[in-house]
Amino acid sequence: MQVFTKKSLLKEYISQIKEQSKSVGFVPTMGALHQGHLSLIKKAKKKNDIVVVSIFVNPTQFDNKEDLDKYPITLENDKKLLESVDCDAVFIPSVKEIYDKNIVSEKFDFDGLEHQMEGKFRDGHFDGVGTIVKALLEIVMPTKAYFGEKDFQQLQIIKKLVEKHQLNVTIKGCPIFREEDGLAMSSRNTRLTNEYRKAAPFIHKTLKKAKKKFGIKDADKVTEWVENQFKKHPILELEYFTIANEKTLETITSKKNKEKHRAFIAVFAGEIRLIDNIQLKN
Ligand code: AMP
């Protein structure tokens, strides 16, 4: 596996690959890799001649300094995991390499997608995401780029970014990879105390029950039910639960038959903020 820290050298490598008419799959990450990340890389390997992964903890998408400072970094283990799935190249730039001295976001208009859910609770988050993903796509110039449905709102926003900026790449969404007990895999899970780690599968269990209820109840009733479940929970704290239209990400109160809906949740397990979502059937 080739390791790059400089964009100029990575660009040179990519243009050599492209000269051979080979396709490039790209998986951007913030590192502390787990099986969820590897599932994206394996999918990219199947569909492309080579796969590039980036590892970059992007400062401009963090609204909480402590979350940024404590974000897990496990570079040596990440490289081993990448070798184990035959990743061809990894790009690990410094903050200076990406931002130089100006560590700020561009401002984006994602047609309102950015104002829903995570956008309401994480100030400037999607401007930061848009800034780094656009920069990385311009450096790597992949044929296809892979993003997890774990961050479903981010996935929809990146599709919008590509459409609005006419970037020449196909965005592929990948299903959520879970622990055996249902907890969605996340780099932040390693920061959970034993007590919170044991409690955390309650999030997915509640989403599954909400999905069942959505078959017979209106969205606002299901939302009320979920909010009550968390009020009764001894340690987990609900930040939001909402049922939204998959395309517009706008909250719905009752279902419309031809549209796809998804339930979204953010929960505090102590200091650690966990998000998850589940597709609903009409
Ligand atoms: P992150 O390193 O958390 O920024 O994630 C990098 C990419 O991996 C994003 O596209 C995430 O949505 C995706 N990802 C993270 N966790 C999972 C998971 N449990 N299942 C599927 N994709 C995931």
pLDDT tens digits, 126-154: 999 999 999 999 999 999 999 999 999 99
Average pLDDT, rounded, for the chain? 97
pTM greater than 0.95: yes
Check residue 24 and give its pLDDT: 98
CA dist 17 and 22 (Å) reads 6
Query: Which residues, 6 or more positions from 31, have their beta carbon under 8 angstroms from its beta carbon?
Result: 55, 56, 57, 72, 73, 74, 75, 78, 187
Catalytic residue among 37, 125, 204, 261: 37
Here the tokens at position 17 are 């690959």
Averaged pLDDT for residues 169-173: 98
Check residue 258 and give its pLDDT: 86
Check residue 134 and give its pLDDT: 98
Calculate how far, in angstroms, residue 2's C-alpha sits from the geometric centre of ligand 1.
22
CA dist 127 and 267 (Å) reads 22
State pLDDT tens for residues 13-59: 999 999 999 999 999 999 999 999 999 999 999 999 999 999 999 99
Q: Would the pLDDT of 62 be above 80?
A: yes
The full set of domain ranges for the chain reads 2-174, 187-280
Check residue 27 and give its pLDDT: 99
Q: Is 147 in the pocket of ligand 1 (CB under 6 A)?
A: yes
Sign of the alpha-carbon torsion through 255, 261, 266, 267: positive
Residue 255's pLDDT band (cuts 50, 70, 90): confident
User: Residue 185 CA: which ligand 1 atom is closest?
Assistant: 19
Calculate how far, in angstroms, residue 144's C-alpha sits from the geometric centre of ligand 1.
16
Residue 10's pLDDT band (cuts 50, 70, 90): very high
* Fold category of 187-280 in CATH: Pantoate--beta-alanine Ligase; Chain: A,domain 2 (3.30.1300)
204 is catalytic: no
State pLDDT tens for residues 197-228: 999 999 999 999 999 999 899 999 999 999 99
Q: φ and ψ at 123, to 5 degrees?
A: -60, 125
Q: If phi over 0 gives left and psi between -120 and 50 gives alpha, with beta otherwise, what is residue 63?
A: alpha
Residue 254's pLDDT band (cuts 50, 70, 90): confident
Q: Is 58 in the pocket of ligand 1 (CB under 6 A)?
A: no
Superfamily, domain 2-174? HUPs (3.40.50.620)
User: Residue 150 CA: which ligand 1 atom is closest?
Assistant: 12
